[in-house]
Amino acid sequence: MSPPAPRSKTGRSADRTHRTEPASRSEARRAEQPAQAYGGSSVLPDLTTRNFLGSRLKALRSAKGLTLQEVADATGLSRTFVGMVEQGKSEIAVARLLRIADFYGVTIHDLVGTETDPAIELVPLQIARKVPTGEPGVSLWLLATRSSHISQPFIVELAPHTQLDGLAHSGDEWIVCAEGTTRVRVAEAEHDLRLGDSLFYPGRLTHGYFNHGDDPARIVGSVVRLGS
């Protein structure tokens, strides 16, 4: 048997290399660390998305020979705001981005996706693109990186008592409640979805997702490209 570690005059072990941090201090440190949402820090940062999106929008506008003012007038946004989005200097909420995409006749995937992926595509959540929603506690991920797909799969996460409303796009949409409960408003009708419930509705109808409960909710869905 090994001899016991020498003790100091206070009676404590002189070997301090294995001291255990007090539970209260370690718990406090853990509490200071922000909780990670679905996907955590592995999702591409918003700055990356903004720069990539801005360059796509500017290229589309230039290809069509449009001015910033013409795009602003057609989408109901300000010229300054459209310019800042093109420069990657401002985030854009998904509802506004849908207006621009619809004006150009493209999908959100066309704006932030890539064209270098194979026909069969595995998309780990680590490379899914997180799109700013403009709503605290609401996250939106695009689950395909290739814009040529006929469908646009996505995940929406809603923290308790949050919503994502005022959405409209040209493609038909199908969603399923993957966690919690969600109220979906389509035009003037409201539908309560529980775990496993699904809903389909045609394009161009204004819709929104609402979590009125005390638990997180998650929606998985897909938008079909117009004309597919």
- List per-residue pLDDT tens for the chain, 228 residues long: 444 444 444 444 444 444 444 444 443 343 333 333 444 333 334 566 778 888 889 988 998 899 999 999 999 999 999 999 999 898 888 889 999 988 998 887 778 765 554 566 777 777 788 888 989 999 999 887 665 567 889 999 999 999 999 999 888 999 999 999 999 999 999 999 999 999 999 988 999 999 999 999 999 999 987 655
152 DSSP assignment: E
Predicted TM-score of the model (pTM): 0.60
Dump pLDDT digits (tens) for 108-121: 777 876 555 456 67
CA distances from 71 to 24, 84, 92 (A): 56, 13, 15
DSSP for 96-114 reads HHHHHHHHHT--HHHHH-B
* Residue corresponding to tokens 């897909």: 222
pLDDT digits (tens, 9 = 90+) for 195-213: 999 999 998 899 999 999 9
User: Domains, the chain, ranges and CATH?
Assistant: 42-224 (2.60.120.10)
φ/ψ of 76, rounded to 5, equals 75, 20
Q: Cα-flanking dihedrals φ and ψ of residue 198, to 5°?
A: -130, 165
Distance CA 7, CA 11 (A): 5
Let me know if 173 is exposed, middle or buried by CB neighbors in 10 A (0-12, 13-18, 19+). buried
Distance, C-alpha 178 to centroid of its chain: 16
Contacts of 138 (CB under 8 A, 6+ apart): 156, 157, 158, 159, 162, 163, 164
Say if residues 191 and 183 touch (Cβ distance below 8 Å): yes
Reported residue count of the chain is 228
